[in-house]
Amino acid sequence: MGNRGVLAAICLWLVGCGCKPENLCPPYFQVNDWCMRTGKCQLDGAPTCVAGSDPACFTIPRGKVFRIPVSGFASSLGSRRQLSIAVYAAGAGADSSKLVARLDGAPGVPLAPLYTLDDSGAFPDGDRPFGWDPFPSSPMFLEVSHDDAGLAVAEILIAFYDYACRQQHPPRICAV
């Protein structure tokens, strides 16, 4: 690495050289983390993803339902009223369009994907955003399932976020 490369690396490390990853929107509410902390999520009526579980517990076999008691955190969502589900370890050929999300029985309306990055720049490909209009004032349960005939099991990452804010303020990624 030449002198310019070393100086550039030092500049980026010390002060960012004018590039700061801005995030003007509320952070994602990570449902997977909440499930692990509380142990209140279920797969076809049986508790799953309790504290100490392997993160691979967020798998949904075809035809099964992953149920999340949204009532346990709905009051903390604020403007984060849209849902993002990402298939992150399903193998080749996973079809995220086969994911279904229901909030208190009402199916989520698929939204156009904005980008595939979370606040840290690491959101997986296969993001499937959903919205409800109107969003229930006191939602009780979120149910997620899939009907992809070519996929036996889908491993998922679930998060609520502010879709409108993210449209207006996409994350700024700083390249070295």
Q: What is the pLDDT of residues 6-63, one digit of tens each?
A: 333 333 333 445 555 567 889 999 999 999 999 999 999 998 887 777 777 788 888 8
The predicted structure's pLDDT at residue 1: 43
Residue/partner pairs of 152-155 with CB below 8 Å, 24 or more apart: 152/61, 152/62, 153/59, 153/60, 153/61, 153/62, 153/90, 154/59, 154/60, 154/62, 154/87, 154/90, 154/94, 154/99, 155/56, 155/58, 155/59, 155/60, 155/87, 155/88, 155/89, 155/90
Of residues 95 and 145, more confidently modeled = 145
According to the model, what pLDDT value does residue 151 have? 73
CB atoms within 10 A of CB 72: 14
Structure tokens at 166: 């993210």
Higher-pLDDT residue of 114, 16: 114
The Cα–Cα gap between 167 and 121 comes to 16
pLDDT band for position 139 (cuts 50, 70, 90)? very high
Give the pLDDT confidence score for residue 133 in this predicted structure. 93
Q: What is the mean pLDDT of residues 137-149?
A: 90
Nearest to 36 by CA among 19, 60, 65, 56: 56
> In angstroms, what CA-CA distances link 111 with 25, 84, 114, 127?
18, 9, 9, 10
> Among the CATH numbers 1.20.120, 3.30.70, 1.10.238, 2.60.120, which is that of 23-168?
2.60.120
Place of tokens 């909030």: 103
Domain layout of the chain by residue ranges: 23-168
What pLDDT, on a 0 to 100 scale, did the predictor assign at position 156? 85
* Residue scoring higher pLDDT (119 or 156): 156
Pairwise pLDDT comparison (110 vs 121), residue with the higher score: 110
> Per residue in 125-147, is it b (16+ CB within 10 Å) or e — as a string?
ebbbbbbbeebeeebeebbbbbe
The 10 Å Cβ neighbour count of residue 56 is: 10
The per-residue pLDDT for range 55-106, each reduced to its tens digit, is: 777 888 888 999 999 999 999 999 999 998 887 655 555 667 778 999 999 9
